[in-house]
Amino acid sequence: MSKLDNAKRKGIYLLPNLFTTGALFAGYYSIIAAIQGKFEMACLSIFIAALLDALDGRVARLTNTQSEFGEQYDSLSDLVSFGVAPSLLMFNWSLYHLTAVSPVMGKIGWLAAFIYAVCGALRLARFNTQIGVTDKAYFQGLPSPAAAAVLSSFVWISVDLEISGETLKYFVLPLTIIAGLLMVSRIRYYSFKTIPFKENVSFIWILLLVLVFVLLTIKTAWVLFVVFGCYALSGIILTTVSIKQKRAQKKRAKNKGETTLETDESE
pLDDT tens digits, 136-164: 778 889 999 999 999 999 999 999 999 99
Quick one: CA dihedral 105, 106, 107, 109, positive or negative?
positive
Predicted local distance difference test score (pLDDT) of residue 259: 63
pLDDT for 214 equals 83
Q: Give me the percent of the chain exceeding a pLDDT of 70.
A: 85
Predicted confidence band at 173 (pLDDT cuts at 50, 70, 90)?
very high
Three-state DSSP at 61 gives: helix
Mean pLDDT value across the chain: 85
Please tell me the predicted confidence (pLDDT) of residue 3. Answer: 46
Provide the Cα torsion 123, 151, 34, 191; round to 10°.
50
SS3 38: coil
Question: What is the Cα–Cα distance from 193 to 55, expressed in whole angstroms?
Answer: 14
At residue 152, the 3 state secondary structure works out as helix
Pair 108, 170: CB distance under 8 Å: no
Give strand ranges (E) for 102-232: 138-140, 188-190
Question: What angle is formed at CA 147 by the lines to CA 146 and CA 152, rounded to 5 degrees?
Answer: 95
Q: What pLDDT sits at residue 263?
A: 60
| pLDDT value of position 196 | 61
pLDDT, tens digit, 9 for 90 and up, residues 188-219: 898 876 666 566 666 676 787 788 788 888 88
Assign a CATH topology to domain 3-193+204-266.
Answer: Four Helix Bundle (Hemerythrin (Met), subunit A) (1.20.120)
Residues in the chain: 267
* Most confident range, picked from 121-135, 227-241, 252-266: 227-241
Predicted confidence (pLDDT) at residue 75 exceeds the cutoff of 50: yes
Rounded to whole angstroms, the Cα distance separating 30 from 249 reads 48
Question: What is the C-alpha to C-alpha distance for residues 169 and 108, in angstroms, rounded to an integer?
Answer: 11
Is the pLDDT at 130 greater than 80, yes or no? no
Domain boundaries, the chain: 3-193+204-266
The whole-model pTM stands at 0.84
Name beta bridge partners: 138: 190
